Amino acid sequence: MKFSVLVNEGPYQHEASDSAYHFTKAALEKGHEIFRVFFYHDGVNNGTRLATPPQDDRNITQRWSALAEQHNLDLVVCVAAAQRRGIIDADEMKRHGKDANNIAPGFRISGLGQLIEAGIQADRLITFGD
């Protein structure tokens, strides 16, 4: 089965991101395809490389990055939600005259059209968080 995943919550506010990660990992291990993981609303906070959780805590962003690298996953962060929360890539940095970017490895910024496509291309769109 082909899944797309929508993550609407940040990495440490709720269990939604952890649950989405574990679902995605388990689906891949069972031989399912993940078309795309889309991060929306506060979920875009999963895509910042500047989060530094305590050493004895899980690093959710690193988990997503590693899973994306291992399985060639498409991790998409909503551009509008990301800009509101100060998450930008190199292109957005230049476009808005900022002096740095903070997108984590394996993540990319794009628009809501990517979410629509994810829903169309997948057999199921699974949503985590409100």
Residues marked active site are found at: 78
CA 54 → CA 49, 57, 58, 60, 63, distances in Å?
14, 5, 8, 12, 15
CA 25 → CA 18, 103, 104, distances in Å?
11, 21, 19
Pair of tokens at residue 67: 């899973």
CA 85 → CA 28, 93, 103, distances in Å?
30, 13, 12
Q: Give, rounded to a whole angstrom, the gap between the first and last alpha carbons of the chain.
A: 24
